[in-house]
Structures are given as structure tokens and as C-alpha cells.
Amino acid sequence: MMDRIADLDRNTGETTVKVRVNLDGKGFFELDTQVPFMTHLLQMLAKHGKIDVMVNAHGDLDHHVIEDTAMVLGKAIQKALAEKRGIYRFGQHYVAMDEALARCVIDVSGRSCHVCDLGLKGLDIEGMKVEDIEHFLISFTKNLKANVHLHVFYGENDHHRVEAAFKALALALRMAITRDPRAPETVPSTKGMLEQN
């Protein structure tokens, strides 16, 4: 069985981002970024997705670091999935975080579609702009090449809404990329293939 590990770098005039993922990890994370709340969100993706994630990301502006980190992380997971043989492909999960309730449904099909409604009311959470949180999700989905439908049904606290959403995303992704013991070598598509890099 092949290791599902990928390393990717992105170096531009604005940012330097290095990412390593192990899809068969235990949820270990080693994160060095200049955006504390994004670091917190990455911790949740790793821990609840049971993906080992290492990220080193710095740059001129937080917006650029957030966008480029999402891009490289999505591409790294897509690369580690390779031909996507033997995975469940689809995943879904509900998560409650105190008064907030979120649902994520995902298909790592190789086609990108992002449908998201976090219902956030404020302009920032813990110093991270709400528009940057939403942009992170869009960039991550596009580069993961997945269908991601993410909704927060209710919740009075924006922080709770976002935590519920990211935990639901992590758990749905975990389900989708898990190896199916009943079909360890087959591609989960009637076409016999799924889109890759």
C-alpha cells in the first residue's frame, strides 16, 4: 500500500509557504504562520481529519498568507490522494459547537464546487477578517478539486460557528479519504477514473 504523503512549496514575491501532509496520520500538526486564528483552524483540520499537517507560511500581508496557505494545502492533499484508488470518496458530518450546528458534505471527485454559508455577522474573528476565512475555504476547495457543501444552520457566536464548520469539514474529509477495505484497489467512479492534478 502506497504512502499518501505530499510535500509542496509556493514561493512568490508576496509569500513563502511550505506544506507537508500525511493522509494516514494521527492528526499531528506542526504549524508556523503569522495568522493565529488560521493556525487554530489548521489545528482543527489536522486533529479531527486525522491528517498530519506541517505548515510554514509567512509573507507581506495576512490576506496573501491565508490565500496561499489554503491553495498549497488543498493541492498537497489532492497530490497525496493520487489516483484515489480504494477511498470512500464521499464524506459528510454534522458538528455541534455549543449553540452552533454545522454540516459538511464533500466529494473528492476532482471537480471543484464550493457552496458555503457560515452565516457570520461580524467583520473579524480573533483578528482574522471574516472575508479571509471565507476566502480560505474557497481557495482550499478549488485546489483540493472537491465538491464542498458547508453550512452553519445556527449559532449566536461567530467563533463557535467557524469552529463547528471547520470541524465538520475535517470530519467529512476524513471520511472521504479513508481507505475502503471492501474495494482497496478500485477507483470509486463508474467512469473508472477520477480527475487528478
**Distance, CA of 197 to CA of 189 (rounded, Å):** 17
The tens-digit pLDDT sequence of the chain (197 residues) is 678 999 999 999 999 999 999 999 999 999 999 999 999 999 999 999 999 999 999 999 999 999 999 999 999 999 999 888 888 999 999 999 999 999 999 999 889 999 999 999 999 999 999 999 999 999 999 999 999 999 999 999 999 999 999 999 999 999 999 998 877 676 655 455 556 55
Give SS3 for 120: coil
Give CA separation, 59 vs 13, 32, 85, 92, in Å: 8, 12, 36, 34
Of the candidates 42, 62, 56, 57, the one whose C-alpha atom is nearest the C-alpha of residue 127 is 62
Ordered structural domains, the chain, with CATH: 5-177 (3.30.230.40)
DSSP 58: E
Strands 90-97 and 100-107: antiparallel
Of the candidates 55, 66, 61, the one whose C-alpha atom is nearest the C-alpha of residue 8 is 55
**Distance, CA of 75 to CA of 77 (rounded, Å):** 6
**Distance, CA of 25 to CA of 4 (rounded, Å):** 9
